[in-house]
Structure 1
Amino acid sequence: MKPQRIPRTRTVPHTVDGDTEYIEETEYIEVPAAPHDWDQIVRVAITVMAIVLLVAAVSWSTASIGSLLSRITVSAAAYGAASAFDLLWIMATAARWLLRTDPVRVQAAIRFGRVALAVAMAAILADGYVSGELVIGAVGACVSALAKGGTELAMLVHDKPLDPRTQKWLNARRARLNAQLGLLPVRRELARGAAALNAEQRRLEMLAADSGSADPDESGQSADDPNADVLAIRPGALTTKDAVRIAWDSGIRDDEQAVRYVAKATGKAPSPDTVARYMRLFRQGLAG
């Protein structure tokens, strides 16, 4: 067996005039060369031949079907539409490869590919019939079928069939993962809805606070708040709101201290809830 030389690099000390430095040194070791993997070579050769045959078949079918369609439309549109026949079959074949480990869904790709092949063969045969060369049309349809069948053979040599127990294990894992992936859009939708709801709630709270800044409790005013429908006994007397503003400007931030200050400033005991509302508006910068 022919050996194979493999380079190996190591660091060794090297001394010149008493000074030592570590340098890299390359050496080669010989190991037995691996034998040729003829199975892989044949597999690659089959794949290459299938691709060559597929290119030839696609060229033939596109030219034939394009010639048929160009009888009623411009050539560019005719050959563009003709390419759809083979592109659909290629899509089905690619889907079959991606779904090769899913025995249920792969059947849909196989059936669609067979339908696309049958339609393309019928179109090639129709072109031969219209051109008066039915035999050539039949041969061309067979070429398309054989070339695409070669692609199926190439896929078979690459397939790795699973035993029934392993297939069931894979199906269970895939189902669990697909459930999580399928819920991702729903989770995003719920998150967007929750964010929109929170934003709307904050907006309404801000609007309510702003509209009630002149009087935060219009539905039920406390006894110590001024009433617009009743004439004040002492016009110009200090109101609860004015007293809270003075307390706030004086640096008072505690509600209880503010209540005591308002009681002292106005000469009567205010409602703690009213003072607390005015203090909250001053904290939020919403008080006028």
Structure 2
Amino acid sequence: MKTRRTQTIERTRLVPHTVDGETELVLDRETIEVPAPPRDWDQLVRTAVTIGAIVLVTASLVWTTASIGDLLAAVTVTVVAYAAAIAFDASWIMCMAVEWLLRYDPARAKAAQRAGRWALAVSMGAVFAHGYIYSEWVIGVVGALVSGLAKGGWSMAMRVHARPLDDRTQQWVAKRRAAVDGQLAMIPIRRELQRGQALVEAEQRSIVADSGSVGSTDPGQSGSSVAGPDRTVTPIDRKTLTTKDAVRIAWEDGIRDRTDVIREVSRQLGRPASPDTVDRYLRDHQRTA
């Protein structure tokens, strides 16, 4: 009779333990033998296919670099020639990486597939040209097929790992991805707007400061306030400032237009003000005016 494989595991549980009449829950550890799960041959084969594809891609990259590098070295510096030769296979390898990342978005992955095929064709053509120039066209053909086999091996590996989605699920994924991508896109946009708003406010403060310094040279104008409220007073504490107080300050500064009031209140509060709340307090001042 065949003995079934087992594996040793440790189980822990809380059990009551009493010392001197005091009971506490402590961990009780127990080592037991349980049947081992059957070997997952599918996963082993999938892993072997992936490793094989990586080996093929690595061999192709080395061969193509050596072949095209030797071809280019005839007209340029050897180091530069071999560095440039890496780009031939690296191009379609990069396209395959992009195709892998976009495996759940077939529409966007098609561009990477087309670019990868063109890059592979260019790479194979360059390898064949190397053999043809040295009158070894058979070696050139065989060497060019190395890249083709590597590309085919990696394509098969991607098919093994692929998880095709039905049409409705694909649409659901596309909509959710679009929503998340929109939120991610708004992060740098908000930062850009905040930087722009900070520059605008700094420019406005600079203009007000320049206007105040020019007006102060005339003693007769010291009591007037052409440029708006006096900016020499103690700055308002935004943490304790309420919307009602901000509307009152704007009203006292002579601001009457609703849009200007909302903008001024938002500036004083340091955050966007609620238009409805501003309208309510603004109507109170209009009635008492």
| Unpaired runs of at least 5, structure 1 | 219-240, 242-272
Task: Tell me, in whole angstroms, the C-alpha distance in 2 between the residues paired with 1:28 and 1:109.
Answer: 52
The letter of the residue matching 1:200 is: E
From 33, 55, 58, give the equivalent of 2:58: 55
- The answer as to whether partners of 1:209 and 1:216 remain within 8 angstroms in 2 is no
Residues 125 and 212 (structure 1), Cα distance of their counterparts in 2 relative to 1, 3 Å cut = same
Residues 207 and 26 (structure 1), Cα distance of their counterparts in 2 relative to 1, 3 Å cut = same
Find the counterpart in structure 2 of residue 173 from structure 1: 176
1:36 aligns with 2:39: yes
Residues 194 and 142 (structure 1), Cα distance of their counterparts in 2 relative to 1, 3 Å cut = same
Residues 204 and 132 (structure 1), Cα distance of their counterparts in 2 relative to 1, 3 Å cut = same
From 123, 127, 130, give the equivalent of 2:130: 127
Residues 199 and 217 (structure 1), Cα distance of their counterparts in 2 relative to 1, 3 Å cut = farther
1:75 aligns with 2:78: yes
Q: Secondary structure at the match of 1:104?
A: helix
- The answer as to whether partners of 2:68 and 2:82 remain within 8 angstroms in 1 is yes
Q: How far apart are 1:158 and its partner, in Å? A: 0.5
Deviations 1:60-111 (A, max 9, x none): 1111111111111121111111111011111101000011111111001001
- The answer as to whether partners of 2:125 and 2:144 remain within 8 angstroms in 1 is yes
- The answer as to whether partners of 1:61 and 1:144 remain within 8 angstroms in 2 is yes
The letter of the residue matching 1:177 is: V
From 187, 190, 193, give the equivalent of 1:187: 190
Find the counterpart in structure 1 of residue 147 from structure 2: 144
The letter of the residue matching 2:155 is: E
TM-score with structure 1 setting the length = 0.70
Aligned length: 229
Find the counterpart in structure 2 of residue 213 from structure 1: 216
| Unpaired runs of at least 5, structure 2 | 235-289
Q: Percent identity?
A: 52
Q: How far apart are 1:186 and its partner, in Å? A: 2.9
Residues 125 and 217 (structure 1), Cα distance of their counterparts in 2 relative to 1, 3 Å cut = farther
The letter of the residue matching 1:171 is: A
Q: How far apart are 1:280 and its partner, in Å? A: 5.5
Q: How far apart are 1:214 and its partner, in Å? A: 5.0
Instruction: State how 1:15-34 maps to structure 2 within 5 Å.
Output: 25-34=28-37
Deviations 1:239-267 (A, max 9, x none): xx8xxxxxxxxxxxxxxxxxxxxxxxxxx
Task: Tell me, in whole angstroms, the C-alpha distance in 2 between the residues paired with 1:123 and 1:26.
Answer: 65
Q: Secondary structure at the match of 1:26?
A: strand
